[in-house]
Amino acid sequence: MSDCYIARSRSVAARQLGDELIIMSAIDSTLFNLSPVAAVIWQSADGKTPLANIVEQQICSAFEVEFAEAFRDAQEFVAGLAGHGILFVADAPIPDSNTLAPAPAPTPAPAPALVTP
């Protein structure tokens, strides 16, 4: 994940509460409470900016942290949210992150019709 691009899923609801950001997955209603650092990554996930640039340009200077540590933590955070379908990760820029959404849940099979003899 050294040169990766991240984009937010459209299947979430996000609200800023003070310094924290709350994200809810529309798929399973899981809530995520993001720290100020994680909120910067989330808000910067435009699909066009590499994660390394987000960390270097926004995280390191604002939070006075070394790049190697911040990038390692950012990679773990991104992998965790990607595992829940909250963020999308790609090796190249994501052209239009507005078109991305997790696969819909399978439609249950219809109930069998009752047959009377």
Q: Is the pTM of this model over 0.75?
A: yes
**Residues of the chain predicted below pLDDT 70:** 1-2, 97-117
Task: Kindly state the tokens that stand for 27.
Answer: 């798929």
The number of C-alpha atoms within 13 Å of 26 and in the hemisphere containing its C-beta is 13
Query: What confidence score (pLDDT) does residue 26 get?
Result: 82
Can you tell me the distance from the alpha carbon of 79 to that of 9, in angstroms, rounded to the nearest whole number?
14
Query: What confidence score (pLDDT) does residue 17 get?
Result: 83
Query: What confidence score (pLDDT) does residue 95 get?
Result: 83
Q: Kindly list the domain boundaries of the chain, sorted by start residue.
A: 5-9+36-91
Residue among 3, 36, 2, 10 nearest 88 (CA): 10
3-state SS of 50-91 is EHHHHHHHHHHHHHCCCHHHHHHHHHHHHHHHHHCCCEEEEC
Query: What confidence score (pLDDT) does residue 9 get?
Result: 92
What are the tens digits of pLDDT across the range 42-62?
Answer: 999 999 999 999 999 999 999
